Amino acid sequence: MVTELSRTNYLEWVGRPLGTGKPRRIEQSDVDQFARLSGDEQWIHVDPARAQASPFGATLVHGLFVLSLVPSWISDVARVVDAESILAVGYDDVRFLSPVCVPSTLQARVSLTRAQDGGQRLRTWWGVEVSDEHDDLVATATAIAQW
């Protein structure tokens, strides 16, 4: 279910969970593409043979790749209905809690944790907890958006 948020109802959602975003399967081809785009082509991300001999036994998903999925998970559970635009203005409290091996399926629980009405702009803080297919927490972050 997608929660519709507006300037008239957002306060009732502060501090409440909004739901869990769709699972995202991450394969080696996705990690390779992210590595090329970001320029972070460390062997632990892009060399499966070498990574197999590492303590992890597989390549790892970039932490910033995981973080880049946050807006899509928020969109999976919430839609702002009365804003011309929504701007991501930053992240707070980003923590990568455990390595994510390739392949993996990740999903995130999302809540609206705080809001600040600035008159023409409303700033919102979104709590995101990312888990793997074993339901182990692998990352947390607070995404900040302005609308």
Residue 102 domain flag: yes
Locus of tokens 């923590």: 95
Residue 15 domain flag: no
pLDDT at 1 over 90: no
| Per-residue pLDDT tens over the stretch 99-123 | 999 999 999 999 999 999 988 889 9
| Per-residue pLDDT tens over the stretch 78-105 | 999 998 889 999 999 999 999 999 999 9
Domain of residue 142, residue span: 61-146
Residue 133 domain flag: yes
DSSP string, 73-109: HHHHHEEESS-S--EEEEEEEEEE-S--BSSEEEEEE
Instruction: Output the six-digit token pair for 115.
Output: 């809001």
Residue 5 domain flag: no
pTM attached to this predicted model: 0.94
Residue 135 gets the label, from left (phi > 0), alpha (psi -120 to 50) or beta, of left
Q: Which residues pair with 3 in a beta bridge?
A: 78
Residue 34 domain flag: no
CATH of the domain at 93: 3.10.129.10
Total tally of structural domains belonging to the chain: 1
